[in-house]
Every structure is written in structure tokens, then in C-alpha cells.
Amino acid sequence: MKRPLMWLCLLGMIAGFLIHVIHARIHPVPELNGEVIVRGRIKRKDVRNGKTVLYLKNTEISFDSAGDSARNNSTIQPKYGTICTLNEPEGVFLSSSYPMNAKVCVRGRLSTFAPATNPGEFDTAAYYRARGYAYQIWEGDVTYSEGGNTLTEFLYRVRRKAGEELVGTFGEKNGGILSAMLFGDKEYLDKEMKTLYREGGISHILAISGLHISLIGAFCYALLSLVPMKDKYSVMLTIIILVLYGFMVDFAASVFRAVFMFGYRLIAKLCKRSYDAPTALMASAFLISLFYPGMITDSSFLLSHIAVGGILLIAPVFAPLVSRRKRYIDALGGGISVFLSTLPVMLRTSGRLSFAGLILNLMVIPAMPVLFVCVFLYLLTEAWIPRLASLFVYVANSILYLMEELCVYANKAKIFMLHVKAPGIGRIVIYTILVVGLTLLARKIKRRMKLKHYLLMNEAVLGEESTETKEKLKLLKRMDVVFRGMVLMMFFVLFLFLIGTPKRSIITFLDVGQGDGIFIRTPSKTVCMIDGGSTSKNRLGENILIPYLSYEGEVKVDYWFLTHADKDHISGFEEVLEGDEIAIGTIVLPYCQREDFVEIEGKAKEEGTKVLYARSGDRIYERNGTYSFTVLSPEPGETYEDRNDSSLVILYETKRMKAAFMGDAGLRAEEAVTDFLNGDNLTVLKSAHHGSANHTNSEDFYRMTRPECVVISCGRNNPYGHPHRETLEHIDSVDAILRRTDEEGAISY
């Protein structure tokens, strides 16, 4: 068997992951909340949004709150660590007061990281649990500290000092970019620049990756090789420098992989053994999964390892038999390989694909070695040769300026950005199997072509170079070009298969906490939203609404209905309206609340968005009859003492269903719905006012509409007691299926 160690690592990684999944199901992470005292050791420090953040491992959690008698003075030792954001005066960072690996005691209110409950939403709980953390404390106070590790604290301070030096010299914008690139410190990274790089498809350079480590390792090894010492000492010192650098930047998955593979290669060279990249790659993945099995499903782990695996597996297919410009062809083949291999992860996590990024990477990546060398030489010469250091600063700033301009032009060309519905797991599995199968077959054919090429070359060298041999060589080279083109076309078909996930008609009740947010795609692919607000979740548009729309492959909402002017209906919508990621065609508002939407109407006009004020009887429909939206309330000319009663009530009809969305409407709106239905039953009913029983959700209404399914959108443990017991009893009395976002998360129908 070829590469037995590689296969052993692969089997071990799979077995470890399965054991981890089974154990997690049997022993889920306990939810802990309340006033606590956490004791643990500092494994990492950071400054985020002007606050010091301590990452504690080996923790003990004591519940000493008098209000929690069940846990009063009890102590537990959870498997996962705690992330503590300290309560400190503005501009005063306490990170220097608590050295790395020090044992500290933090008092504050503990909470468990909430999992993602909507498609496309970033899973904070999974992200931190994969790294060994499950709990957080906001505005904690350190009451005790002792000990610490001198080496790791020194590395942390070097990182902070270097970041401050870069910002002071290169400015906040460029200095923040360089600090993120070289030291993984994103404290100074400008949010607009981060977005610009992401839209341009080169955001990966803002994180420490294998490219960075390889450049640093090669630079250090080249310098040490100039020193008169044995090669083994150069290798050992290079590995030590890389390991120390890894500790300084917190050994992310991509950093560990790059350090491990680079060190593996140096040791293989020193031992005069052949370096096997696939074995080194799989061994790296196995070691990471051994200590952090949850990392196997983490996007950073997958992108880092799959990208390298894609180059090792697919790139040889595109390598020519003979080429004078082999470097450029190798770069192009490597880019195609990374694109094909990482495509499922990119689409699954973002639902968007930047073709401009493919072109930009071909220009940006070759410039990275020059940029890194200039920055490191600046740091080395700044104190000794200021004039030479200023030259390095000028070159580095010029490179960053060109990168920024390239991203600006790429983002203006919207044609290079593809938005598709995120593919399902089944489609990704089929794509992966077909790509691997096609690659293995192509490599087998490629090996035979190379063997034939070598035989012909031998004939030309050993015998007389006949005309027939020359013709055969030319024909073989042409066949190679045609073969690579055919393989590329087959990969393109697989690409179309993956991005061709159909967009079906759907209704999704998003879990927005205490609020409403409903996505509708009609049978004719018209995209609509009803509300989009919350009183329990901040930055709803950025964290939930926009990610979900991207997940569905949508960049425009044709109609956005706002049933009510309260925050729990419009807070996230306002974020979307002010941003430029999602376009809005028409905003539909309740006629009786015109004065409450003056500000939104003004912003809509600035964005070129149409605004309609609707009342009972108004309809939006497809001429072929595939769908219709009918406004059933408020009534024209009516006055409503309670503003909730004037909510927009909408009936959505297709050939297979009738769905009513009640907003916060009360009993008068219920009468309008029952009168319009005239005895017909509802397929889906979105319960009014989050399941409240105060002047709404009457028993008669449920009895007369007899919905098959009732959906309640409310926040978990909300302070209003929604849904009320009376509402639940009314739903149960008509044998309707009850579904709740606080229990299930996002609900699709």
C-alpha cells in the first residue's frame, strides 16, 4: 500500500470525529447562565472593540449568586473554556496586567454561546467549541491573579508592540492590514477594508495562512544558511522560530498546518529522505483533530487543508508535458485546483463567488513575498538605518495601494460576482466524488502520456532524430493540450452542477428572537420579505437577514412588507436598507401608520426604492395566477386606538396553499380575515403578536380558519411570556400543528 501513514491518519481522523459526534450527542454541552466566579489559566489574550478579552482554559465555575439557590456555592469543572471580556475604563487595556498562562479569577455574568438557528447564520457556538470554548462573560472583573509564563507573555508583547509600530508608521488603514497579515492581530483592521478585500476575493491574505508561514520559513532558512554553521542547526533554528511564531499568533489551524508541513519538509531534507506532501498534510489534519475534533467541520480548517489537497491532487493534471513558461502554467493550474477543491466550502458558507478573486490572486500572491520582506526589513532596520527603512515603507505602501485599487475596480465590475443558492450536503458529496474520480482517471491518462513522451525523447537521444519521431512528439504535445482542455470542460460541467442548486418556492420563518422576519420565494421566483426586526438580537440585518438572503442566493428583495413600525418588526430591515449588499425593489407599508414611517420613506427615496402604502383590498399578484398577496387589514378610512390593530395583515395564496400573516393585529383584523376566507381553511397561519392572548388570537378565529399549521415567532425566555397559555390552548383545540421559532429555530414550509 502506498503512503500507509497517510491512510492511517485519515482513518484515525474519521474514527476520532465519529467518536466526538457520538459523545457530543450523549453528553451535550451544559447550558450555564448566571452570576459566577470563573477560575482558569489565560491561554490567549486579545483586544476587541476597545476591551481586553481573556481566553481561559482549565476552568472552575462557582455559582455564588444568592438568586440561584439551586447552584448556590456549587462548583463545576466544565470541559470547555470561558472567554471573558473585562470591564475596564475606556482606552485602558488590562491585558498587560495579567500575563499569559497566569491563573486568574473573574467575576461576572456567565452565558453559553448561542448556536446558529438560521441557515447562513455564523455559528458562534460551533466556532468557539471547535477551539475549546463554550462560555462567555461580558464586563467581568478580575479579582485575583498569580503566576504566568515569561516566554509566552514576551511573545504576546512583541506581537502587540509590532502591531502598534506598524500602525504608527503605515497609518491606521495600511498598518491594520499588515498587523492582521503578519501577526493575526485584527484590532486595528479597518472594517471597510476588510469588506473591500472580501468582495474582491482576496480576504484570505488578511489571515495568517500557509503562504505567510512558507515565506517566513524560507526567509529565515535562507538567512541562517548564510551563517557558517551546519545545516542541521539551520533547520533546527528555523523550526524553532516558526514554532515560536505560531505560539505568538495563537496557532490557528492554517498556521499549524503550514508550520508542520514546512518543518516536515526541512527534516526530510536533513535526513535525506523524500518529502511526501500528502502524508504531511494528512498528519497535520490528524494532529489537529486529535486535540480539537470539532475542527474537522470548521471552515478555516477545511479551506486550509482542502486547498493544499486540491493542489496536490488536481494541479498535476494541468501540468504540461514540456513548457518554457511552466511557472505561469503551474500558477494557473494551482489556482484552478484551489478553486475547484474549495468551491463547496465557499458556497456553503457564503453563497457567493468572486471570479475577480481568481484574477486578482494571480497578481496579488506574487507580490506578497516582496511585501513581507519589505515589512520585516523595515522592522529590522527602523532603529539602525532610518533612511533605508523609509524606502521599505514606501514600497510596502505602494503594494498595498495597488491591491486596494484592484479590489475597488473588481468590486465595480458586478459581473464578476456570482450569487447562488448554497448547495445541500448531498449535492456537495456527489460533486466531490465526481471531481476526485475524474481527477484520478485524468492522472492515470496523464501518466501514460508522460511515459510515451519519455520513450519518444529517448528514441530521439539514443537514435537518429528522425522526422517520424519529431512528428510523434508534436502530436503528443497537441494531444496533451486537447486533453487538458477536455478535462477543464468536464470540471466546468461539475461546477455548473454544484452552482445549479434550484431555487424552489418556500416560506421561511426566521428565528430573529423576539420579533418577526419572514422570507417568501413565490413559484415564479419573486422574492418577498415580511418584517425583519427584533428586540432581543442586535445587528439583525448583518448577522441574520443578509446572511440568509445570501444563503438563498438572493441579492434583491422585490417586495418588503412592513406590518408594523415597532422595533421588533423593522430594526433589521433598516440595516439592510442603509447597506448596499441587498437591493430592495418596493417597500409596502400600512396606510394607517404613514407618520411612523416618514424616516424610512425618506431613506427609501434616497436609495431609489419605491414605497407603497397599502390597505384592505390591495393586491400584488402574478398575471398567470401562480401567486397573490392580498392585504386584508387595515380598513381604509378607519381609525385605530391601539396601533397594533392597524398592522398590515397579508394573505398569501398559491395553487397549493393559503397563508395568513397577522403582524401584531387584534380582533378587528381577525374578523376581516374570516370574512374574506368565507369558510375556507388556512394552510399556514403566522400567529399574531408572537402568540400573545391580549386582544388577539381568539378561540373563534382559530375555530373559523382551522389552520393546518400555526407558526409562532418569539424569543427564547422572553420577558413577555410569549406565547401565552390561552393561545396555545386555542391552537390545540383545532388540532393544528404548532411550530415555534424559539424551540426549532428557523422554520421552512
pLDDT per position as a tens digit, 474-504: 888 888 889 988 999 999 999 999 988 888 9
For range 354-372, the mean pLDDT: 79
Nearest to 631 by CA among 642, 644, 646, 643: 646
This prediction has a pTM of 0.88
Q: Alpha-carbon distance 17 to 23, whole Å? A: 10
Nearest to 572 by CA among 606, 611, 598, 544: 544
Q: Alpha-carbon distance 89 to 50, whole Å? A: 9
Cβ count within 10 A of residue 336: 19
- Using DSSP's 3-state secondary structure scheme, residue 616 falls into coil
Report which DSSP code applies to 325.
Answer: T
- Using DSSP's 3-state secondary structure scheme, residue 717 falls into coil
Dihedral, CA of residue 141, residue 145, residue 151 and residue 155, to nearest 10: 10
Mode of pairing for the β-strands spanning 709-712 and 684-686: parallel
Paired with 518 in beta bridges are: 509, 530
Paired with 611 in beta bridges are: 587
Report yes or no: 136 and 82 within 8 Å, Cβ to Cβ: yes
Structure confidence at residue 428 (pLDDT): 93
Range from 210-219, 358-367, 497-506, 555-564 that averages highest in pLDDT: 555-564
Nearest to 714 by CA among 531, 532, 534, 528: 534
Is pLDDT above 60 for 68? no
Q: Is the peptide bond before 4 cis (omega within 30 degrees of 0)?
A: no
- Reported as a single tens digit per residue, the pLDDT across 620-678 is 988 777 899 999 988 876 766 677 778 899 999 998 899 999 998 888 888 889 989 88
- 639-648: burial string, b at 16+ Cβ within 10 Å, e else: ebeeebbbbb
Structure confidence at residue 712 (pLDDT): 95
pLDDT band at 201 (very low <50, low <70, confident <90, very high): confident
Beta-strand ranges (E) seen in 356-436 are 417-419
